[in-house]
């Protein structure tokens, strides 16, 4: 079986690289984008199995990236996990209302990330609510 393809978008190069290394070490095929525009283009061209989106990025925040990606016919149901340093209730509510599978609050542990990724990918195609704030 091929590895799941995960697109990560984060404008912090160090954070992006750390996430790439963590997920890559566990067998995931990781694509990296440093802003919203690049994330949308990569999603269109690479058709990832899952997106991990930072909420605060230039050229389109994570919310606008999700909205643009889900307008693509081949990406309508791709699961979204948000990562953010913004711990406000407004962000939590918006992520939930947009249908994100999970919201990870920075800083988070590698074990948390891997559990959310595994549960999200295993839950693909499920109609169950899987939203988690970690």
Domain ranges of the chain: 5-133
CA 132, CA 134: separation in Å to the nearest integer? 6
- Whether domain 5-133 has CATH 3.40.50.2300: yes
Q: What is the pLDDT along the chain (134 residues), one digit of tens a residue?
A: 468 999 999 999 999 999 999 999 999 999 999 999 999 999 999 999 999 999 999 888 999 999 999 999 888 889 999 999 999 999 999 999 999 999 999 999 999 999 999 999 987 654 444 445 55
N-terminal to C-terminal alpha carbon distance within the chain: 29
CA 15, CA 9: separation in Å to the nearest integer? 10
Virtual torsion, Cα 82, 60, 10, 57, nearest 10 deg:
-100
- Per-position DSSP letters for 85-99, written without gaps between them: S---HHHHHHHHHTT
Q: Which residues contact 70 (CB under 8 A, 6 or more apart)?
A: 76, 78
Report pLDDT for 130. 46
Answer whether 55's CB lies under 8 Å from 91's CB: yes
CA 49, CA 17: separation in Å to the nearest integer? 19
pTM of the model: 0.90
Answer whether 52's CB lies under 8 Å from 6's CB: yes
Q: The tokens 């058709």 sit on which residue?
A: 47
């Amino acid at each position: 079986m091929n590895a799941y393809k995960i697109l990560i978008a984060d404008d912090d190069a160090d954070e992006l690289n750390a996430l790439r290394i963590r997920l890559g070490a566990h067998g995931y095929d990781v694509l990296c984008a440093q802003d919203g525009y690049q994330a949308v283009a990569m999603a269109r061209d690479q058709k990832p199995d899952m997106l991990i989106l930072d909420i605060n990025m230039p050229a389109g925040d994570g919310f606008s990236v999700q909205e643009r990606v889900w307008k693509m016919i081949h990406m309508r149901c791709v699961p979204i996990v948000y990562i953010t340093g913004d711990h406000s209730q407004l962000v939590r509510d918006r992520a939930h209302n947009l249908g994100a599978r999970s919201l990870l609050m920075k800083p988070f542990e590698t074990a948390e990330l891997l559990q959310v990724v595994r549960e999200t990918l295993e839950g693909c195609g499920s109609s169950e609510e899987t939203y988690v704030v970690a």
